[in-house]
Chains A and B, each alone.
Chain A
Amino acid sequence: MARYGMIIDLRRCVGCYACVMACKAENLTPKGVSWNRLIVEEKGEYPKARMTFTPVLCNHCENPPCRDVCPTGATYKRSDGIVAVNQSKCIGCKYCMVACPYQARSIHEKSEGYFSKYGLTPLEQHGYKKHKKGAPSKCVFCYERVEQSKEPACVAACPTRARIFGDVTNPNSEISHLLEKNKTFRFIEELGTKPAVSYILDQAPKTERG
């Protein structure tokens, strides 16, 4: 069985937010819900100051704390490694949101759209059916696309190919190749979560790819 993972090459990320918007458009996430976000920071001092962009999403941990604290089993891990939420089993206790070290979950609390004065747009009306009010949600690696052999929306939208998605158990996949060739970093590994999302740091030496 495949085990899906992602590499984000921070040497290539230009902070354009295309992944954030592609995620919104693909998953029609309601206002206030963001499955993919950017941490924007200032690093260093003048004249060597710079801005860094770090896209963050659900890490699809091998040992997800969100699943462990879920009282109903609404959060579960698929056999392909994707952590998903069955919202009809969710009671909305928000324990998973507290327990996720990556702050990757957000909750759909109000059913107001982006243009609340005018009600929901037809697109929102369609999209909100997928999102139950009062239940937290998160990135699911676009499994509906992946099942059709497509890349997740954020990966397809990235103009610099900073995101690479694939099966880490397949030694011939691009992601396995990159993981082998580059020094990679994963967030908050000390909790033993074993994230499936790895980063190539922006200061890392250029390789044949970068």
Chain B
Amino acid sequence: MTVQNIWHGLVIWYLFLAGTGAGVYLLAVGNKMFRKQDALVKMGYIWGPILVALGTILLLLDLGRPFWAFLAVLRPHASMISVGTLILTFFMLNGFFQIYSLLFKKKEPPHALDIIGFILAIGTATYTGLLLGVVEAIPFWNKPILLPILFLVSALSSGIGFLLLVSILNKNSKEETKSNLHRMMKFDIWLILIELALLILLLWLSARGNPAAAASVQILTSGFFALPFWGLLIVTGLLLPLVLETLVRSHKQSILALCSIALLIGGVTLRYSIVVAGVWLPMSK
């Protein structure tokens, strides 16, 4: 059995940054659309597209022939990369227009753009899962429904981590922003529980599936990636924030900082775990 070594570092960080950017946007703009709270929306408008753009830069750096990247939109009917390129491009164009009207025209961007951006952000977060999910040659990845949902939930969770981090680093954060974020942390408890359930489902389905998928599970639970998987993903990325958000009442800066960093580490390690544990179907007779 061969572990895939084609996609690694840069692609993984791209998956993380695009997911987190989409998560930040979904949370902040969703907070405005569904709860009529404007406190976070500026952070979402600005950081959402910036994180996605940073991720896109990493994606471009990973390309063998980056100067030809514009050709990537040619086959949206067949290739997930074409679909993703279109979603990313429209999300960033929409986002940068919103930033422009917010910062330079000094007025609220049109409501219609919020809806378009919200849909494109869902697209961005789920497509990163679908990109891996449609690869039939790697059975551990080949979960075209489960993986996009897992990546979407994780994107929201690391989005909360990122928003927390920004509010901590910004000394002039308003009380209203903080109270909105504390509410988000309560919401995150559900996200983490769902993420844990989906992750267990992914491992369980894989362990009893194809031998290649079982080999992937083994890499994570007891193989070469076991230490980051248990230490950084399960304990630091999921259980620690879960404990901090459920049991710890205090909103001291240090606790919030710990929680935000842990969430972000969890987001990166989830993508690392899934990508590096990809094992091809065996070529055996």
List chain A positions with a Cβ less than 8 A from chain B.
Answer: 39, 54, 56, 65, 68-73, 89-95, 97-103, 107, 109, 132-136, 185, 187-188, 191, 199, 201
- Contact A70 B79, CB 8 Å, known A54-B285, A65-B136, A93-B72: yes
> Can you give 5 A-B contacts (C-beta < 8 A)?
A54-B283, A68-B79, A103-B2, A185-B285, A187-B283
User: B78: which A residues are within 8 A, CB to CB?
Assistant: 68-70
> Which residues of B from 128 to 172 have beta carbons under 8 Å from A?
134-138
B87 proximal to A (CB < 8 A): no
Asked if A91 contacts B63 (CB within 8 A), the reply is: yes
A54 CA to B80 CA, complexed, in Å? 33
Majority DSSP secondary structure for residues of A touching B:
loop
B223 proximal to A (CB < 8 A): no
Residue in A69, A70, A94, A135 whose beta carbon sits within 8 Å of that of B6 in the complex: A94
A208 CA to B182 CA, complexed, in Å? 79
A98 CA to B80 CA, complexed, in Å? 13
B214 proximal to A (CB < 8 A): no
Asked if A109 contacts B64 (CB within 8 A), the reply is: yes
Write the chain B residue with the least CB distance to A107.
B64
Write the nearest CB–CB distance from A31 to chain B, whole angstroms.
16
Write the chain B residue with the least CB distance to A95.
B81
Asked if A65 contacts B6 (CB within 8 A), the reply is: no
Residue in B64, B134, B278 whose beta carbon sits within 8 Å of that of A94 in the complex: B64
Residue in B2, B7, B81 whose beta carbon sits within 8 Å of that of A69 in the complex: B81
B209 proximal to A (CB < 8 A): no
B82 proximal to A (CB < 8 A): yes
List chain B positions with a Cβ less than 8 A from chain A.
Answer: 2, 4, 6-7, 62-66, 68-69, 71-75, 78-82, 85, 134-138, 278, 280-281, 283, 285
Asked if A101 contacts B64 (CB within 8 A), the reply is: no
A73 CA to B69 CA, complexed, in Å? 13
Write the nearest CB–CB distance from B87 to chain A, whole angstroms.
13
Residue in A39, A95, A98 whose beta carbon sits within 8 Å of that of B283 in the complex: A39
User: A95: which B residues are within 8 A, CB to CB?
Assistant: 79-81
- Contact A65 B137, CB 8 Å, known A102-B283, A134-B63: yes
Asked if A72 contacts B71 (CB within 8 A), the reply is: yes
User: B71: which A residues are within 8 A, CB to CB?
Assistant: 71-72, 89, 91
Select the residue from B62, B75, B137 with max chain A CB neighbours within 10 A: B137
Asked if A98 contacts B64 (CB within 8 A), the reply is: no
Asked if B64 contacts A97 (CB within 8 A), the reply is: no
Asked if A91 contacts B66 (CB within 8 A), the reply is: yes
A103 CA to B282 CA, complexed, in Å? 10
User: B285: which A residues are within 8 A, CB to CB?
Assistant: 54, 185, 199, 201
Asked if A71 contacts B81 (CB within 8 A), the reply is: yes
A109 CA to B280 CA, complexed, in Å? 22
Write the chain A residue with the least CB distance to B278.
A98
A98 CA to B3 CA, complexed, in Å? 11
Select the residue from B64, B68, B75, B136 with max chain A CB neighbours within 10 A: B64
Asked if A134 contacts B283 (CB within 8 A), the reply is: no
5 nearest A-B residue pairs (beta carbon): A92-B64, A134-B64, A71-B81, A101-B137, A71-B79
User: B137: which A residues are within 8 A, CB to CB?
Assistant: 65, 98-101, 188, 191
Residue in B4, B63, B136, B283 whose beta carbon sits within 8 Å of that of A92 in the complex: B63
- Contact A91 B281, CB 8 Å, known A98-B4, A132-B65, A191-B136: no
Asked if B283 contacts A188 (CB within 8 A), the reply is: yes
User: A91: which B residues are within 8 A, CB to CB?
Assistant: 63-66, 68-69, 71-72
